[in-house]
Amino acid sequence: MLRFFPLRIANRRIESSSAISIAIEVPTRWRPHFKFTPGQYLTLRTQVDGRDVRRAYSICSGSNESELRVAIKRVEGGLFSNHACDTFESGQAIEVMPPHGDFVISPGSGAERHIVGVAAGSGITPVVSILKSVLASEPLSRFTLFYGNRSPEESLFLGELTELAKGFAPRLKIINAYSRKSDNDGVIGRLDKVFPHLLHTFVNDVQAVDRWLICGPENLMVSATEVIGSLGVASHRIASERFGGRGEVAPEGTNCDAIVHMRLFGQSTEFSPGNLTIADGAIEAGVNFPYSCGIGVCAICKVRVEEGRAAMADNTILPAEEIAKGYILACCSYAMTPKLVIDCDVE
Ligand code: FES
């Protein structure tokens, strides 16, 4: 449902030196809309300098918990995330779209499984929701988490995870890797580099792992998927989601004077996105353009280029065949030619 609900921030918590989390207050009458499966995200909408800006943030609370909470980490050049970290506070109004996303695990009380999570940076957010939900709901299941960060100070949920590891021992095992600094309880090294060794040390039988979850930057996703796949693990048992790192800066070659001709709901409209993405440019021009996550993961903003050229700065969902046919994600794409004709009504 592409509808924003006017809600409030119940409270704001510091999660690391560069991240906060906010709990969202949902009135009883709207709670059915905000039931979530662990691993899903919420799209938040607010005004930044008079601009309508929306971004998706993963839910970090478990389905066993009473609150609905998302984590927001600062990103270099991140319009929404930096604004949120600087200004969001308890009681503030915020517009929120109901949960979406397919990087999920549904807990089941009778399940007995071993899940391995490989997460770095803010990629921990959906994983921590899944971890808490599964361990609380499935007394026979266990979870091994490989968690990479630059330093303990920059690690989201470090205190909470430490407590969870104690509370759920021996079903929860957490292995921290720090690329810049380690404490007594962490391995030194970037997770994508040290993962093969850690996997060999801490997971005895990879074939006995029921589900692999990889969430973090591109290099981690690619290398961890390769390592796990090379051990004979079937690809349907590996789920991955790219996370973090996208700035909001127009790529080199963006034509800031471009005119976009957009066909949407049978109507034609023209606007100049300047150095904004096509989706942000449309919203800025007052077009009721439907988009959700804003980070290239949901494909709600998929459109087709009919004339001209656009550059996609991000994409985790469009397959190569669709890109070859001219499809782009408008939330991550910039106009590269003086004239860009796009059709939003194609399937
Ligand atoms: S709005 Fe989700 S991919 Fe563009």
CB count, 10 Å around CB of 63? 21
What is the structure's pLDDT at 244?
59
What is the structure's pLDDT at 126?
96
Q: 3-state SS string over the chain?
A: CCCCEEEEEEEEEEEECCEEEEEEECCHHHHHHHCCCCCCEEEEEEEECCEEEEEEEEECCCCCCCCEEEEEECCCCCHHHHHHHHHCCCCCEEEEEEEECCCCCCCCCCCCCEEEEEEEHHHHHHHHHHHHHHHHHCCCCEEEEEEEECCHHHCCCHHHHHHHHHHCCCCEEEEEEECCCCCCCEEECCHHHHHHHHHHHHCCCHHHCCEEEEEECHHHHHHHHHHHHHCCCCHHHEEEEECCCCCCCCCCCCCCCCEEEEEECCEEEEECCCCCCHHHHHHHCCCCCCCCCCCCCCCCCEEEEEECCEEECCCCCCCHHHHHCCEEEHHHEEECCCEEEEECCCC
Report residue 242 CA to chain centroid gap. 7
Query: What does pLDDT average to in each consecutive run of 10 residues of the chain (347 residues)?
Result: 89 94 97 96 90 89 96 87 95 95 91 97 96 97 96 93 96 94 77 95 95 92 94 94 65 92 94 93 88 80 95 83 94 95 89
What is the structure's pLDDT at 297?
78
Angle at 102 between CA 143 and CA 128, to 5 degrees: 30
Q: How far apart are the first and last CA of the chain?
A: 18
Residue holding tokens 């600094």? Answer: 181
Q: What is the ipTM of this complex?
A: 0.99
What is the structure's pLDDT at 185?
76
- For the CA of 317, the closest atom of ligand 1 is 3
- By CB atoms closer than 10 A (0-12, 13-18, 19+), residue 343 is middle
Cα 291 to middle of ligand 1, angstroms: 6
- For the CA of 332, the closest atom of ligand 1 is 4
* 253 touches 311 (CB < 8 A): yes
What is the structure's pLDDT at 313?
86
What is the structure's pLDDT at 318?
85
Task: Name the residue type at position 104.
Answer: V
Q: Which residue among 102, 295, 334 has the greatest number of ligand 1 atoms within 8 angstroms of its CB, and so is best to mutate?
A: 295
What is the structure's pLDDT at 96?
95
Cα 162 to middle of ligand 1, angstroms: 34
What is the structure's pLDDT at 193?
93
20/5 Cα distance (integer angstroms): 22
Residue holding tokens 């471009």? Answer: 258
Beta-strand pair 339-343/302-307: antiparallel
Q: Which residue among 42, 297, 327, 334 has the greatest number of ligand 1 atoms within 8 angstroms of its CB, and so is best to mutate?
A: 297
- For the CA of 293, the closest atom of ligand 1 is 2
Selection from 137, 162, 128 nearest residue 57 by Cα: 128
What is the structure's pLDDT at 170?
96
Q: Is the CB of 292 under 6 A from ligand 1?
A: yes
Q: Which domains does the chain have, with CATH numbers?
A: 5-99 (2.40.30.10), 114-242 (3.40.50.80), 259-343 (3.10.20.30)
Work out whether the CA dihedral 26, 32, 34, 39 comes out positive or negative: positive
Q: Which residue among 280, 301, 303, 342 has the greatest number of ligand 1 atoms within 8 angstroms of its CB, and so is best to mutate?
A: 301
Task: Name the residue type at position 286.
Answer: G
67/189 Cα distance (integer angstroms): 35
304/326 Cα distance (integer angstroms): 5
